[in-house]
Amino acid sequence: MHDASWALAPDGTNPEIVAWVEQLAHLFTPDTVVWCDGSQRERDELNRKMVAQGTLVQLNPELRPYSFLARSHPADVARVESRTFICSEHEADAGPSNNWIAPDEMRATLGGLADGAMRGRTMYVLPFSMGPLDSPLSRFGVQVTDSPYVAVSTGIMTRLGAEALQRITPGTDWVRAVHTVGAPLAPGEVDVAWPSNETKYISHFPESREIWSYGSAYGGNALLAKKAFALRIASAMARDEGWLAEHMLLLKVTNPRGRVFHVAAAFPSACGKTNLAMLRPSIPGWEVETVGDDIAWLAPDAWGRLKAINPEAGFFGVAPGTGASTNQTAVDTLWGNTVFTNVALTDEGDVWWEGLTDTPPSHLTDWQGESWTPSADRPAAHPNSRFTVAAAQCPTMSDDWEDPAGVTIDAIIFGGRRATNVPLVVEARDWDHGVYLGATISSERTAAAEGTIGELRRDPFAMAPFCGYNMADHWQHWLNVGDQLRRSGRVPRIFQVNWFRKDDDGSFLWPGFSENSRVLAWILDRVNGAAPAVAGPLGWTPTADSLPLDGLELPDGAIDKLFAVDATAWTAELDDTERFFAGFGDRVPAKLKRQLAIAREHIAVVAEREQHDASGAAPAAA
């Protein structure tokens, strides 16, 4: 930790960074500036400071070594999509799925709010690498913040510190990230971790590669290396440079014959991504290891293979629903060295949340610091409560998760939370069809974002809140990458899955969790040329005996229901897709419009068959 005047930085620091920090210090007027070096000593000092201030509660070291609990302001518990802006030079480049404000207007607003906003506080300077330090796929950034909670969390989530700073030499591109909780302190006023003010801005400037966040300390709004840099700004960088920055987990899977595969999979937040990233297969002979749980950067290499890295160094996971029966690997990862946010506190000084155990403790202190018992009419932990922990602590991390060259992607999976229509698994007919599947993902809204829980929302590529430019241009970029991969003949297969389809009584038709390994096995057997499939109206689906179901007890008729295609429901869905595409105007790629037309043709055949079946007449030839 280097505590000095505004201009005094570690020896050898890039003068551009020094000048930028000095300019911000004059604007924000913090009491002091600290250049963070990423050391354990520094983390200890910050944690001790926050415990002393009441920002953190240290947990019982015998039960949860070197772990802490933070409680946020009740109004600062999730990403604020309504206050998240893409400030591109032209509004059309942000697209209809993003909030847009002209960059000059936003800079003027933020400049006024920033004036003196760090008074009474410390400005922390956080240099970091997204991805392994010496990977050609990695990128660098520097964040300033007045939140020690953000500083500690960023140290867990990135490769933060002196080594990253040394690599940002003159001429090296780096992303500028600015964060303040926006609550200047009066003389003698006690510091607080979370602001209570309602003014919030999370603003991205894709052309200049800048991020400004004001008024929130919640992770998704304040840990700017994560969604703000690694997705919103990085997606714009990737478009310009010919690679992909995606909301995807990464898996290493080894089949019973010893062949290794790597899989990238996109799911909206809180839809089972972390559970799949830490999957423990229920079927013998298969091994699944974790490369990343949330974000992937993918780029074609010189041989035409699609390579990928996990740009993060930690997990910022949703706690509720994570337990021994759903994700034992995550539970094992959280044994210590973890920062928990908005979970409940046990009387013994440990943490608890809904789903951690089948039976709740008889008494807890809830996420707002109030007494709680099982008879209470509110959850003990906030539905979007979180854990922040180093990825290296996960027992299933693969030996290649930090390979600077990245891993070679064999299959890409898209999924959402759908109670109807979408089958358990379908394989795209080709890359263009796969891009269509990704572009038309829809999922019920979860607690990870604002809005009514359960409301259906379109979430193309699981990137709706995270794409830093026009979503239709994102689809075209995927098509362009596919064209590049096709020239080499090394095109990953694309699949869509849905673990959440329900029966008429509201019960899930598929058990999910570890049993999802059965679907993963079929997918990779398809990649390996070892599993048959049948051509259906939505794509290729398993034959009656190719999905490995031995030992799995399912309700009668469940498999038929998991793959059922209802023509009436699908006609309505395709009508909705057409309206969704229309919102992007003439920027929708012609290839995706063609895929929609093909889907209508297939569903029309299904409708004709349904009509013939109802009338008892023989169907016409398809």
- Lookup result for tokens 């039960």: 63
**CB neighbours of 19 closer than 8 A, spacing ≥ 6?**
none
Has 41 been labeled as part of a binding site?
A: no
Report the chain's terminal Cα–Cα distance, integer Å.
71
**CB neighbours of 42 closer than 8 A, spacing ≥ 6?**
1, 36, 155
* Range list of β-strands (E), 425-554: 425-427, 442-444, 456-458, 493-497, 533-536, 539-542
- Using DSSP bridges, classify how beta strands 32-35 and 122-130 pair: parallel, antiparallel or unpaired: parallel
The per-residue pLDDT for 272 is: 80
Kindly report, residue by residue over 427-436, the tens digit of the pLDDT. 999 999 999 9
Cα atoms found within 13 Å of the Cα of residue 98, Cβ hemisphere only: 30
Has 513 been labeled as part of a binding site?
A: yes
Distance CA 169, CA 84 (A): 31
Has 442 been labeled as part of a binding site?
A: no
Has 271 been labeled as part of a binding site?
A: yes
Active site residues: 271
Has 515 been labeled as part of a binding site?
A: yes
Asked whether residue 183 carries a pLDDT value surpassing 90, the answer given is no
What pTM did the predictor assign?
0.94
Has 219 been labeled as part of a binding site?
A: yes
Asked whether residue 621 carries a pLDDT value surpassing 60, the answer given is no
Has 394 been labeled as part of a binding site?
A: no
- Lookup result for tokens 């996990």: 310
Distance CA 306, CA 264 (A): 11
Kindly report, residue by residue over 509-535, the tens digit of the pLDDT. 999 999 999 999 999 999 999 999 999
Whether the Cβ atoms of residue 335 and residue 64 lie closer than 8 Å to each other: yes
Has 159 been labeled as part of a binding site?
A: no
Whether the Cβ atoms of residue 431 and residue 494 lie closer than 8 Å to each other: yes
Percent of the chain whose predicted confidence (pLDDT) is above 70: 95
CA proximity to 351, closest of 372, 366, 329: 366
Domains detected in the chain = 2-184+195-240 (3.40.449.10), 245-313+399-608 (3.90.228.20)
Kindly report, residue by residue over 449-501, the tens digit of the pLDDT. 555 544 678 999 999 999 999 999 999 999 999 999 999 889 999 999 999 99
CA 353 to chain centre: 21
